[in-house]
Amino acid sequence: MSAMMKEKSNEDLKARAIALAGLVNYQDGAVVSREVVSQPTGTVTAFAFDAGEQLSEHTAPFDAMAIDLDGEADITIGGKVNRVKPGEMIIMPAAVPHALKAVTRFKMLLVMIKKPA
């Protein structure tokens, strides 16, 4: 069964070098997230997906960039499946349906920059 879990706050991340893949830990049968930066202009969130875990199809009002830190995932954008591997990134355009399924255990950094009002 899938569960969405959150890790500790981001205060301990400030003003020091951090290994990106170490921002979140895998948990069996779960998706774990940790907000790294949260500002009115955008967010940066680290995710860890157990193999087979997924995010169902949805849209966002602004572009989002997923950076693969570990493992592989299929990210479907507008009906097209894209396999992402460590060191790769993909941009999910605003208002275009997208979904994600972890092929193996998978970690990503999700960067969302909001458009000015």
Domain count across the chain:
1
The reported pLDDT for the residue numbered 14 is: 83
pLDDT at residue 8 tops 60: no
Q: What is the mean pLDDT of the chain?
A: 91
> Rounded to 5 degrees, what are φ and ψ at 45?
-135, 135
Which band of pLDDT confidence, cut at 50, 70 and 90, is reported for residue 15? confident
pLDDT at residue 78 tops 70: yes
Which band of pLDDT confidence, cut at 50, 70 and 90, is reported for residue 1? very low
What pTM value is reported for the model? 0.88
pLDDT at residue 92 tops 80: yes
Section 6-29 average pLDDT:
83
Largest CA distance in the chain: 40
Secondary structure (DSSP) of 35-57: EEEEETTEEEEEEEE-TT-EEEE
CATH for 36: 2.60.120.10
The reported pLDDT for the residue numbered 12 is: 75
Segments forming the whole domain that contains residue 22: 4-113
pLDDT at residue 111 tops 90: yes
6 sits in which H/E element: strand 4-6
Long-range contacts from 68-72, C-beta under 8 angstroms, 24+ separation: 68/106, 68/107, 68/108, 69/20, 69/21, 69/107, 69/108, 69/109, 70/21, 70/105, 70/106, 70/107, 71/102, 71/103, 71/104, 71/105, 71/106, 71/107, 72/102, 72/103, 72/104, 72/106
Per-residue pLDDT of 35-74, as tens digits, reads: 999 999 999 999 999 999 999 999 999 999 999 999 999 9
Question: What residues are paired with 47 via a beta bridge?
Answer: 33, 108
